[in-house]
């Protein structure tokens, strides 16, 4: 195989999220989040798992930083900040102990020579804000901007890469429409209102973060979708356009063009579910982020399907390799998506902020975790990231998902995404073969 070398300065990282790894759910004044409530509700999370302990990263972060530095050699670490640690009621009184934790984490990373990339919101909304209506309620916008202000005022002197949100499509659609994520609501109108308020919160927070964190770059992270058509029929081709517009353009068009995409507006208008858009909203939202983070795991193959309300498309199962999540392994789709994003929106910088796979890992008799399928997954996807770079896409870095096995939301601890195995009984960490391979990639800036 030909040697693949990434551009000088390409950032190699790994990612996590607060609720998935921190545990310590009631420590030091942390308030409850919607995921504490949801996971404590019988039947919502597989096996009744919760994030109450998770990887105990809140207490073990110094060891985890040593793992990042000594065993993997990470350039950068992407983590998220738990809003209910900083503002236990969502707004109002600040909890100094919450800010202190992230202070220690950031200082520890910098001492280890690892650049912090901080996400302000990775789904753990304070329960108190949900009680006031959550993302569908416009009041959340000011609460978020205040939270972003408090947090970046404290950490902005040292954190210079900020992501306002992680995967807004997931927390709004799966949380407020499909009902399979917290808070478990099932309303199209709530989903679209939640989306609009996320966009306003992002737009309102960006200037605040820039002011608090001199020379920082401020972006956001989207789980952009790549869809192929199940057939050449005109109906299936139109279904692809809807699938892309539903998940991608609905966020990218407001950000880069200051308007929602007309095709989806027509559908949502017909269904009577368009959110309230006040004068000046779209101007507040519009503004190219300094970078776009792309999270990518699989593709969709879609066909026209009149039985599906509003969207009228459904996913057609494919043969070929799938991960434990049931997601098709489709590395070339990442290349296609990156080209599409760059050609349509011309983001100044792009990162892969998450990419990875869940497989059923086991610790072997030799004490190692031989996860060859994950290693191959990374090699194939990275090959396609490189291909996009050679064709001009301004990729600046890549973050493996995830640094550690962790709480995989509605799937609990049943799905392992880590490049590091976590024994949840003992909290022992074992760098998997994929992690060892990734350490070599980092050292050689390629493979
Ligand atoms: O674990 C999640 C993460 O929180 C967000 N992106 C997808 C990952 C795998 O499902």
Please write the tens of the pLDDT for every residue from 374-389: 999 999 999 999 999 9
Q: Ligand 1 centre from 417 Cα, in Å? A: 9
Q: Ligand 1 centre from 408 Cα, in Å? A: 7
Q: What is the pLDDT of residue 234?
A: 98
User: Atom 9 in ligand 1: which residue has the minimum CA distance?
Assistant: 408
* Span 348-367, average pLDDT: 98
Q: Count Cα neighbours of 384 within 13 Å in the Cβ-side half-sphere.
A: 20
Specify the ligand 1 atom closest to the Cα of 123: 4
pLDDT band at 110 (very low <50, low <70, confident <90, very high): very high
Q: Ligand 1 centre from 66 Cα, in Å? A: 24
Q: What is the pLDDT of residue 357?
A: 99
Q: What is the pLDDT of residue 2?
A: 86
Q: What is the pLDDT of residue 20?
A: 99
Q: Which of 130, 167, 328, 408 is catalytic?
A: 167
* Span 27-46, average pLDDT: 98
Specify the ligand 1 atom closest to the Cα of 325: 10
Say if strands 300-304 and 313-315 run parallel, antiparallel, or are unpaired.
antiparallel
Q: What is the pLDDT of residue 204?
A: 98
Q: Ligand 1 centre from 159 Cα, in Å? A: 23
Question: Do the Cβ atoms of 351 and 11 come closer than 8 Å?
Answer: yes
Tokens of 432: 């998997």
User: Atom 1 in ligand 1: which residue has the minimum CA distance?
Assistant: 408
Q: Per-residue pLDDT tens for 209-230?
A: 999 999 999 999 999 999 999 9
* Span 324-344, average pLDDT: 98
Select from 175, 223, 354 the residue to mutate for testing ligand 1; criterion: most ligand atoms less than 8 Å from CB.
354
DSSP string across 138-166: THHHHHHHHHHHHHHHHHTTT--EEEEEE
Q: What is the pLDDT of residue 88?
A: 98
Q: Which CATH architecture has domain 11-444?
A: Alpha-Beta Barrel (3.20)
Q: At what angle do helices 331-345 and 250-257 cross, to 10 degrees?
A: 30
Mean pLDDT of the chain: 98
Q: What is the pLDDT of residue 393?
A: 98
Say whether pLDDT at 12 is over 80: yes
Q: Per-residue pLDDT tens for 59-97?
A: 999 999 999 999 999 999 999 999 999 999 999 999 999
| 81 C-beta neighbours (distance < 10 Å), count | 27
Question: Do the Cβ atoms of 213 and 157 come closer than 8 Å?
Answer: yes
Q: Which of 22, 328, 354, 408 is catalytic?
A: 354
DSSP 8-class letter at 274: P
- What is the percent of the chain with per-residue pLDDT over 70, rounded to a whole number? 100
Per domain, the residue ranges of the chain are: 11-444
Say whether pLDDT at 168 is over 80: yes
321 is catalytic: no
Q: At a CB cut-off of 8 Å and minimum separation 6, what does 256 contact?
A: 286, 288, 345
Contact residues of ligand 1, CB 6 A cut-off: 17, 20, 167, 295, 354, 401, 408, 417
Q: Per-residue pLDDT tens for 45-61?
A: 999 999 999 999 999 99
- In the block, tokens 């990218």 appear at 252
Say whether pLDDT at 353 is over 90: yes
Q: At a CB cut-off of 8 Å and minimum separation 6, what does 288 contact?
A: 255, 256, 347, 348
pLDDT band at 205 (very low <50, low <70, confident <90, very high): very high
Say whether pLDDT at 1 is over 80: no
22 is catalytic: no
DSSP 8-class letter at 322: B
Select from 46, 174, 412, 417 the residue to mutate for testing ligand 1; criterion: most ligand atoms less than 8 Å from CB.
417
Tokens of 297: 């795991």
pLDDT band at 296 (very low <50, low <70, confident <90, very high): very high
Q: Ligand 1 centre from 379 Cα, in Å? A: 20
């Amino acid at each position: 195989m030909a040697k693949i070398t990434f551009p000088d300065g390409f950032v190699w990282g790994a990612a996590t999220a607060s609720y998935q790894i921190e545990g310590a759910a009631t420590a030091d004044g942390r308030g409850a989040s919607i995921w504490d409530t949801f996971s404590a509700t019988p039947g919502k999370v597989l096996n009744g798992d919760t994030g109450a302990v998770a990887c105990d990263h809140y207490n073990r972060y110094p060891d985890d930083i040593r793992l990042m530095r000594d065993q993997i050699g990470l350039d950068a670490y992407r983590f998220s900040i738990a809003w209910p640690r900083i503002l236990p009621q969502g707004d109002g009184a600040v909890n100094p102990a919450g800010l202190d934790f992230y202070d220690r984490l950031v200082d520890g990373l910098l001492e280890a020579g690892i650049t912090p990339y901080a996400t302000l919101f990775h789904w753990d909304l304070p329960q108190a804000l949900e009680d006031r209506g959550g993302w569908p309620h416009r009041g959340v916008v000011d609460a978020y901007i205040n939270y972003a202000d408090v947090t970046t005022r404290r950490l902005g002197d040292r954190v210079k890469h900020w992501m306002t949100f992680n995967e807004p499509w997931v927390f709004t659609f799966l949380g407020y429409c499909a009902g399979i994520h917290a808070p478990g609501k099932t309303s199209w109108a709530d989903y679209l209102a939640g989306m609009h308020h996320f966009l306003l919160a992002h737009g309102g927070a960006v200037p605040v973060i820039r002011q608090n964190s001199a020379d920082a770059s401020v972006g956001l992270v989207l789980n952009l979708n790549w869809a192929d058509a199940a057939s050449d029929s005109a109906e299936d081709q139109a279904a692809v356009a809807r699938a892309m517009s539903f998940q991608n353009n609905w966020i990218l068009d407001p950000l880069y063009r200051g308007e929602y995409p007309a095709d989806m507006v027509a559908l949502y208008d017909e269904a009577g579910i368009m959110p309230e858009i006040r004068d000046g909203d779209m101007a507040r939202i519009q503004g190219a982020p300094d970078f776009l983070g792309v999270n990518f795991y699989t593709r969709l193959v879609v066909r026209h399907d009149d039985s599906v309300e509003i969207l009228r498309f459904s996913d057609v199962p494919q043969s070929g390799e799938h991960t434990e999540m049931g997601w098709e392994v489709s590395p070339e789709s990442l290349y296609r998506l990156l080209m599409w994003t760059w050609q349509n929106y011309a983001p100044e910088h792009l990162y892969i902020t998450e990419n990875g796979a869940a497989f059923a890992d086991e610790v072997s008799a030799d004490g190692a975790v031989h996860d060859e399928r994950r290693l191959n997954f990374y090699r194939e996807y990275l090959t396609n990231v490189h291909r996009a770079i050679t064709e001009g896409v301004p990729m600046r870095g890549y973050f493996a998902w995830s640094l550690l096995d962790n709480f995989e939301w509605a799937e609990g601890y049943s799905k392992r995404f880590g490049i590091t195995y976590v024994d949840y009984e003992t909290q022992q960490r074992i760098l998997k073969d994929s992690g060892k391979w990734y350490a070599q990639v980092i050292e050689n800036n390629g493979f």
